[in-house]
Structure 1
Amino acid sequence: MVAALLGFSTQAAVVSESVSYRVDGQEFKGYLAFDDSQTSPRPGVLVVHEWWGLNDYIRGRAEMLAELGYVALALDMYGDGKEASHPAEAGEFAKASLASLPLAERRFNAAREQLARHPLVAGSPIAAIGYCYGGGVVLHMARNGAPLAAVASFHGSLTPKTTPLPADSKTRIAVFNGAADPLVPADQVAAFQQEMETAGADYLLVNYPGALHAFTNPDADRVPAEFKMPVGYDQAADLDSWSQLQTFLQETFE
């Protein structure tokens, strides 16, 4: 199981499968994971990938959510299951996917609707989590009023893509940020806090001292040596943010 690569136990009866769906005539390839030993409806959680695309790391996170009892769908924001192997290619994919925000929203919502139709979700609430690029996506969907019980961003951009969170938003928000991340500087974090306070949001912000961008991804340590980018894995921040996410989701779905 992919989750084993991340160093977490895999005791639940998790099954996984690829799912295909279409948006504006293009095929998208997601990854669904759930515990098939449970038969009762349960909440769903969407997982939005980093700018690298829907790779084994994100599939592993979906499996870890399934082990917690959720139905998890790692969605495809690029189409055709595309994955990048070089930052230049990843940047091109990410930029193209966000060139039209209405199109990006349709891609996200198509996956959300796919998850909502799953028999084991069956009208249960849905949350979304995202990493790096995906963190910015889930925050945008919360600000845009998508029907999500909660969103959680891990080392994602905090700047609104359009308008800030409205005061009537019912979506709970969690942000796990690396305090040493040059891609999310302190003024961006402060502006996010002000946005949340102005909206009266139910939010959690955790800033990990010394943590860089991509701190949850064990493969991030390869990137600085290969591409000279300011990223890196931080095991303590990774484990703590995952633990806090579990509590956050439990409280949300109670």
Structure 2
Amino acid sequence: MRRQPFSRLLLALGLLLATSPAFAAIVAKPVEWKVGKDRFSGYVVYDNASTDKRPGLVMVPNWMGVTKDSIERAKAVAGDDYVVLVADVYGKGKRPKNAKQAGAFAGGLRGDDRSVLRARMDGAVAALKAQATKSPLDAERIGALGFCFGGSAVLELAREGSELAGVVSLHGGIAPGAKSTTAAEVKTPVLVLNGAADKAVSDADILAFENEMDAAGADWQFVDFAGAVHCFAEPSAGNDPSTNCAYDERAAKRAYRMLADFFEERFDTND
């Protein structure tokens, strides 16, 4: 497949100009799935101008869940190289109305026991793979990425021992659940893109994460971006770093370049 020029990818991801002519063929189709008795609702996003099979990415948004903003970001990530599932982990119709409610929803999943979150992440991966007969998806090549809470969520796929092409956490929490065991062998490559000035991620968290990954023999990378705080890759966060949730254009450019390179290498999409 063609490698999407990085300048175009960055423009779309950074500014969310997904309605420009370059993305005219990209579609976002609602999709539902079940995990146990619970039903979930997200969107599958891809360029339908070609029927060429391509890798898939489960994309978990920040704690606000599936929103118009997250769908536009998925369109930019998908380009003509990927099929992207904007994953719902809260439940159908369970959409936070504000930050307080989002914190409650996310907090209920990322506590000491991550078993429910892990099951829902597994369900999202299965939901994406099920699109292989309905979209140009190569279900044998699957990865995941997430923002903020979503970054924490995708790390649980690696921790539980899933075998994916890779997972990328952008400014996500990295502390493990105290009651959720990390697999003896982490089989999925991990890339963590972190704001060095993010007050939500402590030095102790970083050291514990490094030790955890090393103990499991993981293929992992941890990248700090100087001066960046939480939410640094999300333009909708605004630009006031004193809130510890602010967009940082310089860090975002570098992070999106690393994200693109990470998946291109593992999926070999740079033909």
TM-score (normalised: structure 1):
0.88
Q: 2:88 maps to which residue?
A: 76
The amino acid of 1:213's aligned partner reads: H
Q: 1:137 maps to which residue?
A: 153
**Shift of the alpha carbon at 1:84?**
2.2
The amino acid of 1:163's aligned partner reads: T
How far, CA to CA, are the matches of 1:238 and 1:24 in structure 2? Answer: 37
The amino acid of 2:191's aligned partner reads: A
Structure 1 unaligned segments of length 5 or more: list them.
none
Equivalent residues in 2 for 1:6-21, closer than 5 Å:
6-7=16-17, 11-12=22-23, 13-21=25-33
In the alignment, structure 1 residue 171 sits paired with structure 2 residue 188? yes
Instruction: Count matched residues.
Output: 249
**Shift of the alpha carbon at 1:165?**
5.3
How far, CA to CA, are the matches of 1:96 and 1:188 in structure 2? Answer: 20
**Shift of the alpha carbon at 1:231?**
1.3
Q: 2:8 maps to which residue?
A: none
Counterpart of 1:213 in 2: which secondary structure? coil
Q: 2:62 maps to which residue?
A: 50
CA displacement, residues 175-218 of structure 1 (integer Å, 9 cap, x when unaligned)? 00000000002221222223333333222211001100011111
Q: 2:45 maps to which residue?
A: 33
Structure of higher RCO (CA pairs closer than 8 Å, 6+ residues apart): 2
TM-score (normalised: structure 2):
0.83
Say whether the 8 Å CA contact 2:197–2:228 is kept in structure 1. Answer: yes
**Shift of the alpha carbon at 1:51?**
1.1
Say whether the 8 Å CA contact 2:196–2:225 is kept in structure 1. Answer: yes
| Range with bigger deviation, 205-214 or 52-61 | 52-61
Counterpart of 1:123 in 2: which secondary structure? strand
Q: 1:198 maps to which residue?
A: 215
How far, CA to CA, are the matches of 2:239 and 2:51 in structure 1? Answer: 40
The amino acid of 2:247's aligned partner reads: Y
| Range with bigger deviation, 194-203 or 51-60 | 194-203
How far, CA to CA, are the matches of 1:7 and 1:195 in structure 2? Answer: 39
Deviation above 4 Å: which 4+ runs of structure 1? Answer: 2-5, 7-10
Equivalent residue for 2:105, pick from 90, 93, 101? 93
In the alignment, structure 1 residue 253 sits paired with structure 2 residue 270? no
Equivalent residue for 1:109, pick from 105, 111, 122? 122
**Shift of the alpha carbon at 1:7?**
4.7
Equivalent residues in 2 for 1:151-162, closer than 5 Å:
151-161=167-177, 162=180
Say whether the 8 Å CA contact 1:151–1:174 is kept in structure 2. Answer: yes
Report percent identity of matched pairs.
35
Instruction: Describe the shift of the 1:213–1:4 C-alpha distance in structure 2 as closer, same or farther (beyond 3 A).
Output: closer
CA displacement, residues 20-45 of structure 1 (integer Å, 9 cap, x when unaligned)? 12223332111110111221221110
Counterpart of 1:11 in 2: which secondary structure? helix
How far, CA to CA, are the matches of 2:227 and 2:253 in structure 1? Answer: 15
The amino acid of 1:133's aligned partner reads: F
**Shift of the alpha carbon at 1:48?**
0.7
Counterpart of 2:213 in 1: which secondary structure? helix
